[in-house]
Amino acid sequence: MSVRLIESLATNKPLTELFSDESVLRAMLEFEAALARTEAGLGIVPRSAAEAIAAATRGKNFDVASLAGQAIEAGTLTIPLVKMLRKRVRQNSPAAADFVHLGATSQDVADTALILLLKRAQPILEHDLERLEKRLFHLTEEHAHTVMVGRTLLQAAPPVTFGLKSAGWLAALRRCRKRLETSFHEALIVQFGGASGTLAILGEHGLQVARALAGELGLRLPEAPWHSQRDRLAALVSACGILTGSLGKMARDIGLLMQTEVAEVREPGGEGRGGSSTMPHKHNPVGCIVTLAAANRVPGLVASFFSGMVQEHERAAGGWQAEWPTVADVIQSTGLAIASMAGVAEGLSVDRTRMRSNIEATYGVVFAEKAMRLLAPKLGREPAQKILEQAVHVSTSKKRGLSSVLAEIPEVTRHLDRDTLRKLDAPEDYLGATQSFIRGLLAKPPSRKKEG
């Protein structure tokens, strides 16, 4: 299935296919077939009936347009789908039709189908997360000592290294990845509760069917049905929101570093990538743009999901019915952001020379803090502050190096020798605990313990 034009900057092909009509129907029909097989295995329905139901679910040409239209009238897609499935079963095995959907309710099908889609989405996201994490690790190692201007409130500040910046991206990504994995684990559970969430219609077999159904679908069995308890899905949606925000921070940094007057990094280019419809010289940060679009979009979707969590009693009117498109949009936006930043990181060019020249372009005023540290113990903090403010003004207005300006001030030269002043603007000498921080950020998080 191709990406719809209106969603062309909101998803990618693998996730479009995952949430396509065909994929959604397959997940719902998978539930019905698994339920029939499970109940046949427990002797609740004839094995021949289960086989007939399973065969009907494998059939093609379900009328999607008709199902969508009938879903509006029914308030759920499950009702018209079960009717259509029952009709198909009846054509080949009339007796088996009565066993379709036995013991289940509409929300059981809808929720479990959504969970099956999420289960298939997880490895798609994980693949690109692994790509991105691997590349950020190598970028950090490669540029641990690559000095650049630090920037606070978008103004030049004392130097950092590009490795420290990328290590920050990496550490955030690892935290988000762990959070996402945990929330996926908690969310990948079967929904099976019947009419009021008690499985009463199945009598003494209810829990057996639920347990076997979960195993048949490769999902975990929760303590109880969760028709109106949406916290697990909320945690997953929230984890996606946090991850997308962290990716957006990385994208914002790279986009700013790609500005013409900064030009310290560069996204990968190529035919049709990053160009302009009117300006041939442009190399736009398209991967960052797509990620930032997702980071702008996802918080509203997370809020939308949260607003639907207040659900009535044992089954809500309007709450869970709102979730499918919201969750699908969150997963697709998150997946696109991950894939986009993986591509950006894998092809990112880092200009060491430009980074150093941008430090030099500050005329050394970013080392005023360092000079203050040297002068304050000698002159007192307030006198040192006043001298440095005047020196910085001369440096910026006359476009002269701060160290040379300070070398002409007697109060300074009485306490700082020529060699100290000469090394004042050496960025490598003013990086503090940078390397310790990088080592800490690069350290692997505790191994993720996977539960069965």
Buried b (16+ CB within 10 A) or exposed e, 2-26: ebeeeeebbbbebbbbbbeeebbbb
- Note the pLDDT of residue 60: 82
The answer to whether residues 88 and 208 belong to one domain is yes
Domain span holding position 393: 365-424
> Domain for residue 430, yes or no?
no
pTM over 0.85: yes
pLDDT (tens digit per residue) in 9-59: 889 999 999 999 999 999 999 999 999 999 999 999 999 999 999 999 997
Q: Which of 189, 210, 187, 216 is nearest to 198 (CA)?
A: 210
Are 231 and 171 within 8 A, CB to CB? no
Per-residue tokens: 117: 């889609």
Distance CA 49, CA 67 (A): 24
The answer to whether residues 125 and 54 belong to one domain is no
The answer to whether residues 146 and 31 belong to one domain is no
End-to-end CA distance of the chain: 33
Are 102 and 185 within 8 A, CB to CB? no
- Among the listed residues 26, 151, 252, 315, the single catalytic one is 315
**Which secondary-structure segment (H or E) carries 152?**
strand 147-152
The answer to whether residues 160 and 117 belong to one domain is yes
Distance CA 180, CA 132 (A): 15
Give the number of other CB atoms < 10 A from CB of residue 223: 6
> Domain for residue 2, yes or no?
no
- Note the pLDDT of residue 6: 86
DSSP state of 220: B
The answer to whether residues 100 and 112 belong to one domain is no
Give bridge partners of residue 345 from the DSSP assignment.
none
The answer to whether residues 174 and 283 belong to one domain is yes
Cα angle 310, 299, 2 (rounded to 5 degrees) comes to 105
Q: How many CA atoms lie within 13 A of 323 on its CB side?
A: 29
Are 172 and 381 within 8 A, CB to CB? no
The answer to whether residues 383 and 403 belong to one domain is yes
Per-residue tokens: 61: 């040409």
> Domain for residue 209, yes or no?
yes
- Note the pLDDT of residue 310: 96
Are 48 and 96 within 8 A, CB to CB? yes
User: Tell me, what CATH number does 398's domain have?
Assistant: 1.10.40.30
Per-residue tokens: 417: 């020798």
Q: How many domains does the chain have?
A: 3
276 is catalytic: yes
Distance CA 234, CA 303 (A): 10
Distance CA 202, CA 101 (A): 12
The answer to whether residues 265 and 181 belong to one domain is yes
Q: Which of 128, 161, 177 is nearest to 435 (CA)?
A: 161
The answer to whether residues 420 and 445 belong to one domain is no
The answer to whether residues 44 and 117 belong to one domain is no
pLDDT (tens digit per residue) in 366-420: 999 999 999 999 999 999 999 999 999 999 999 999 999 999 999 999 999 999 9
Distance CA 187, CA 305 (A): 15
Give bridge partners of residue 155 from the DSSP assignment.
152
Distance CA 290, CA 248 (A): 9
> Domain for residue 131, yes or no?
yes
> Domain for residue 3, yes or no?
no
Distance CA 169, CA 214 (A): 38
Give bridge partners of residue 261 from the DSSP assignment.
none
The answer to whether residues 128 and 242 belong to one domain is yes
Burial label for 113, CB within 10 Å (0-12, 13-18, 19+), is: buried
Q: What is the mean pLDDT of each run of 10 residues along the chain (452 residues)?
A: 82 94 96 98 97 93 93 95 96 96 97 98 98 97 98 97 98 98 98 96 96 98 97 98 98 97 90 57 84 97 97 93 96 98 97 98 97 96 96 96 96 94 95 97 65 41
User: Tell me, what CATH number does 74's domain have?
Assistant: 1.10.275.10
Are 105 and 149 within 8 A, CB to CB? no
- Among the listed residues 48, 276, 307, 357, the single catalytic one is 276
Evaluated on CA atoms 90, 91, 93, 94, the torsion sign reads positive
User: Tell me, what CATH number does 440's domain have?
Assistant: 1.20.200.10
The answer to whether residues 373 and 255 belong to one domain is no
Q: What's the chain's Rg over C-alpha atoms? A: 30
